[in-house]
A and B are shown apart, each in its own frame.
Chain A
């Protein structure tokens, strides 16, 4: 399991009810179910991935976060997880609002467009950056709204969303982000992980 999922799992206490939005093949769900006794549900758009989840014995709903989150009642999950998908929605602000309505807390991870390798790529090569977390070409990327850790940090603050914990992930190392080290973390982390609440 990738390090990002380990960091997310560490943020969630045992025996909670969790919704994994864009749960893909259910790797994180399975880990949470088996290791933390989490009552876990997934929402996934891809039919193939849904089948993989069912084969793992996971409860998953085929659907689209932009349309299908509205069926869940307010605060019906302890945590709602959204891993590296926010930037791919047509309206990320609306999805973020929905995550925070459905979940008591939300865990959102974003690939950091402020990462030095991304900046370096654009500055010196002059072409759209391709990195480990941003593997696609400009013409076939699902990402519509790329942002940096700094962008997201200020965005949630402007919406009066409470940040419980924000972590910068670089390969295997995770470290706390705060207002004073934001510039540095924004340069050296390829992924930001935010535990938030509204």
Chain B
């Protein structure tokens, strides 16, 4: 999946005990940075990526040659202004853009496949914490991310309460819902049902469960959009044809669009990583880590929170974001919240949504000035 060139890697020497009970060490974390760390080392922002993201937040991703996943939000003079801030992002463990994952080899030089340990959101952030030591950063200015990135934000500040001044979870949840798990299971079933998956050993068998992975991506992609957004963009428009063809080719533009999304995803993503990362999301239940009391997760932090949701996001709806606000308010934490009007669904946080981008920028810049 990844080409070794252009990928910066930190080898973590320390032992990391995973939630599953296994321990890993000497493992790689692939990362990228933007902007520069100032002499006081107080301008660093750690960005966490979502399910299919990677460390290449903005600019051209050197592996895929496409725009970074958060190009609208991160860059010079953008909401997360890299003229001002030092942005760090790393590939999650379990991923496939250079960090330790199922496509790596085990100590016996055999590709892990499904023998890679099952990882959790907690394991991901504990691994990424090593980047602070690597850069000599005592306290981050901010941590942020949307979707699964937001889950990592919540877990990070819970694990390391004094390691960030501000905390911005976006379009996320503190606990994966039955509906979230159901959609992820659909994706995993599509992958494992592909005969080329070979119990996860497709690389050594020279096969690739591309069809299964593409179906997983297509199903997931629908959950990232809103009904209204889909209707406005595609409606019942036909794909390069005057009339229905009375067959099972892609008659409708939406079919063609989804097929395209599935096919390009297969070129850049590893099927086993998709299994591992969706599993990590499904296992995420921050309140459960604190005997059902979400507030307890944040009891030790003085960080300033800003939570953002989107009106048309039905995957991580406003109410689930507000539950985090409620948990914070009940312990008197410093928390702001805004729901952004957008018909672009869950994907809104990745797109050009001006109200969102200006809220993010204003919050960051004003908070930074206050230091």
Q: Do A and B bind each other?
A: yes
Complex interface: chain A residues within 8 A of B369 (CB):
57
Would A57 and B362 be within 8 Å (CB), given that A50-B338, A71-B330 are in contact? Answer: yes
Complex interface: chain B residues within 8 A of A73 (CB):
329-332
Determine if A37 is an interface residue (Cβ-Cβ < 8 Å). Answer: no
Q: Are B367 and A57 in contact (CB under 8 A)?
A: yes
Determine if B232 is an interface residue (Cβ-Cβ < 8 Å). Answer: no
Determine if A154 is an interface residue (Cβ-Cβ < 8 Å). Answer: no
Q: Are A47 and B339 in contact (CB under 8 A)?
A: yes
Which segment of A59-67, A105-113, A119-127, A142-150 sits at the interface?
A: A59-67
Q: How far is the CB of B162 from chain A (nearest CB, A)?
A: 19
Complex interface: chain B residues within 8 A of A90 (CB):
none
A interface, over-half SS:
mixed
Q: Are B366 and A71 in contact (CB under 8 A)?
A: no
Q: In the assembly, what is the distance between CA of A51 and CA of B341, in Å? A: 12
Q: Are B362 and A47 in contact (CB under 8 A)?
A: no
By beta carbon, the residue of chain A nearest B311 is A47
Q: Are B362 and A55 in contact (CB under 8 A)?
A: yes
Q: In the assembly, what is the distance between CA of A150 and CA of B293, in Å? A: 45
Q: How many residues belonging to A are interface residues under a CB distance threshold of 8 Å?
A: 18
Determine if B62 is an interface residue (Cβ-Cβ < 8 Å). Answer: no
Complex interface: chain B residues within 8 A of A59 (CB):
304, 334-336
| Choice from A56, A57, A71 contacting B325 with Cβ under 8 Å | A71
Q: In the assembly, what is the distance between CA of A181 and CA of B253, in Å? A: 75
Q: Are B337 and A63 in contact (CB under 8 A)?
A: yes
Determine if B326 is an interface residue (Cβ-Cβ < 8 Å). Answer: yes
Complex interface: chain A residues within 8 A of B362 (CB):
51, 54-55, 57
Q: Are B355 and A57 in contact (CB under 8 A)?
A: no
| Choice from A50, A56, A60, A76 contacting B332 with Cβ under 8 Å | A76
Q: In the assembly, what is the distance between CA of A60 and CA of B341, in Å? A: 17
Complex interface: chain B residues within 8 A of A72 (CB):
329-330
Q: In the assembly, what is the distance between CA of A59 and CA of B359, in Å? A: 12
Question: Interface size bucket, B side?
Answer: 20 to 34
Within B93-110, the residues touching A (CB, 8 Å) are none
Determine if B231 is an interface residue (Cβ-Cβ < 8 Å). Answer: no
Complex interface: chain B residues within 8 A of A50 (CB):
338
Complex interface: chain B residues within 8 A of A41 (CB):
334
By beta carbon, the residue of chain A nearest B323 is A71
Would A47 and B338 be within 8 Å (CB), given that A57-B366, A76-B332 are in contact? Answer: yes
The interface centre, meaning the residue of A41, A55, A62, A72 with most chain B CB atoms within 10 A of its CB, is A62
| Choice from A51, A56, A61 contacting B358 with Cβ under 8 Å | A51
Determine if B363 is an interface residue (Cβ-Cβ < 8 Å). Answer: yes
Q: How far is the CB of A75 from chain B (nearest CB, A)?
A: 11
Q: In the assembly, what is the distance between CA of A56 and CA of B367, in Å? A: 10
Q: In the assembly, what is the distance between CA of A164 and CA of B366, in Å? A: 36
Q: Are A47 and B341 in contact (CB under 8 A)?
A: yes
Complex interface: chain B residues within 8 A of A71 (CB):
325-326, 329-330
Q: Are B341 and A61 in contact (CB under 8 A)?
A: no
Complex interface: chain A residues within 8 A of B341 (CB):
47
Q: Are B366 and A56 in contact (CB under 8 A)?
A: yes
Determine if B242 is an interface residue (Cβ-Cβ < 8 Å). Answer: no
Q: How far is the CB of B10 from chain A (nearest CB, A)?
A: 35
Binary interface profile of A, 29-61, with partner B (CB < 8 Å = 1, else 0)? 000000000000100000100110011111111
By beta carbon, the residue of chain A nearest B334 is A59
Q: In the assembly, what is the distance between CA of A51 and CA of B336, in Å? A: 11
Determine if B370 is an interface residue (Cβ-Cβ < 8 Å). Answer: yes
Q: Are A54 and B363 in contact (CB under 8 A)?
A: yes
Complex interface: chain B residues within 8 A of A47 (CB):
338-341, 355
| 5 pairs of A and B residues whose beta carbons are closest in the complex | A57-B366, A71-B326, A55-B362, A61-B337, A59-B336
Can you spell out 20 A-B residue pairs with CB atoms less than 8 angstroms apart? A47-B338, A47-B339, A51-B355, A51-B359, A54-B336, A55-B358, A55-B362, A57-B366, A57-B369, A58-B336, A59-B335, A60-B337, A61-B325, A61-B335, A62-B338, A63-B337, A71-B326, A71-B330, A72-B329, A73-B331
User: A interface vs B, CB < 8 Å?
Assistant: 41, 47, 50-51, 54-63, 71-73, 76
| New contact pairs (8) apart from A59-B336, A61-B336, A71-B330, CB-CB < 8 Å | A41-B334, A47-B339, A57-B362, A59-B304, A59-B334, A60-B338, A73-B329, A73-B332
